Amino acid sequence: MVQLPSFEHTQVEKISGISEQIRSSFRSHKTRDVQYRLAQLRKLYWGLKDNEDLLVEACKQDLGKPTFETYITEVGWCENDILFMCNNLEKWAKDESAPDIPLMNKLFAPKIRKDPMGAILVIG
């Protein structure tokens, strides 16, 4: 049986500092590059892959889920979604020509640019 590490709460005083650090990295345009986003997805994938046994054990202890069901519905599902995102992110992030624009504006060749919109906080 795998020994799970003990749960540690984030101290309330530290949350504003962490939040500000994330916002400042967004404002510095560090997250705009597609390669940066791909690197973050790869880190998430390997974080899941490296801790697969711990995740399975946690679902078994908390929810009573069998190993195979946990892998299919939780771990494997997330890993496949991350791989799908990695394979398609560059295609989705490419600039697009604006559809159905008036003839007088076609000379300007407007584009739809897909940039990150901001930072989010996920509480789980």
87-119 per-position pLDDT tens digit: 999 999 999 888 888 888 888 888 888 888 888
Structural domain includes residue 117: no
Structural domain includes residue 105: no
Determine the structural domain holding residue 75 and report its residue range.
27-95
pTM for the full predicted model: 0.76
Structural domain includes residue 60: yes
| pLDDT band with cut points at 50, 70 and 90 for residue 5 | confident
Structural domain includes residue 106: no
Structural domain includes residue 72: yes
Structural domain includes residue 86: yes
Structural domain includes residue 17: no
Q: Give the pLDDT score at 83.
A: 96
Burial class (CB in 10 A: 0-12, 13-18, 19+), 36: middle
How many domains is the chain partitioned into structurally?
1
Structural domain includes residue 5: no
